[in-house]
Chains A and B, each alone.
Chain A
Amino acid sequence: AQSVTQPDIHITVSEGASLELRCNYSYGATPYLFWYVQSPGQGLQLLLKYFSGDTLVQGIKGFEAEFKRSQSSFNLRKPSVHWSDAAEYFCAVAPYNNNDMRFGAGTRLTVKP
């Protein structure tokens, strides 16, 4: 069955610390991969996406993600978290030939001063 898993429901980090949010997927073939961020009371903003090529993808706001085929993972990272990064983060996948996008359950990030 096709699925997207974000194992961490809630993560708390200190401002300035590094961050890694996990995402694992189960698909018949390598899908397209996305990370979205949802700030409180806001819509979803695309952070970055992976279609092919370099497995380390750079996104907006200083985020990056690495696709690891062997682990079926697409983890999101940021070297130094800012208080404004506190939000809900969603990993999403879509097959290569249609728009049936599936979202993970989300990871809520809290940033401590």
Chain B
Amino acid sequence: DTAVSQTPKYLVTQMGNDKSIKCEQNLGHDTMYWYKQDSKKFLKIMFSYNNKELIINETVPNRFSPKSPDKAHLNLHINSLELGDSAVYFCASSQDPTGGVGNTQYFGPGTRLTVL
């Protein structure tokens, strides 16, 4: 069973469109995250959710909105896609971060988004 899964794996779309990327974890973790990996492989955290509350929100455009229907899911919705949004987006999850082992994040396989 895949611990952290993402769909779709590849997403190609036109500028201006709205798209969503789904993420699910079956690890029973409390916190989920979205990262963006740019063309230079640099990983930057975008959001994290703990028990449906946003606890980290880096300076990302408000076109990006995380949506968490339940503890096991954190979807990423992107409005009005731009060329610069092309990247690989990774979902991750971890336990309660206040314990040592809770800081370990487990990553999904990534979604490669290409905006034309």
> Shortest Cβ distance from B92 into chain A, in angstroms?
8
Given known contacts A51-B100, A96-B100, is B108 in contact with A106 (CB within 8 Å)?
Answer: no
Interface set of B (CB-CB < 8 Å, partner A): 31, 33, 40-45, 48, 55-56, 90, 92, 94, 97-98, 100-110
Q: How far is the CA of A99 from the CA of B56 in the complex (A)?
A: 9
Given known contacts A97-B98, A105-B40, is B45 in contact with A36 (CB within 8 Å)?
Answer: no
- Supplied contacts A44-B43, A101-B105, 17 more A-B pairs, CB within 8 Å: A32-B100, A36-B107, A43-B90, A43-B108, A46-B104, A51-B100, A52-B100, A96-B100, A97-B98, A98-B97, A99-B55, A99-B94, A101-B45, A101-B103, A103-B43, A103-B44, A105-B40
Q: How far is the CA of A101 from the CA of B54 in the complex (A)?
A: 15
Q: CB-nearest residue of chain A relative to B31?
A: A99
> Shortest Cβ distance from B53 into chain A, in angstroms?
13
A74 on the B face (CB < 8 A):
no
The total of chain A residues at the interface (CB under 8 A) is 26
Interface set of A (CB-CB < 8 Å, partner B): 32, 34, 36, 38, 42-46, 49, 51-52, 88, 90, 94, 96-103, 105-106, 108
Given known contacts A88-B41, A97-B97, A103-B43, is B90 in contact with A44 (CB within 8 Å)?
Answer: yes
Q: Are A42 and B109 in contact (CB under 8 A)?
A: yes
Q: How far is the CA of A86 from the CA of B102 in the complex (A)?
A: 29
**Partner pick for A100 among B45, B90, B109, B110, CB 8 A cutoff:** B45
**Partner pick for B41 among A42, A102, A106, CB 8 A cutoff:** A106
**Partner pick for A99 among B41, B97, B107, B110, CB 8 A cutoff:** B97
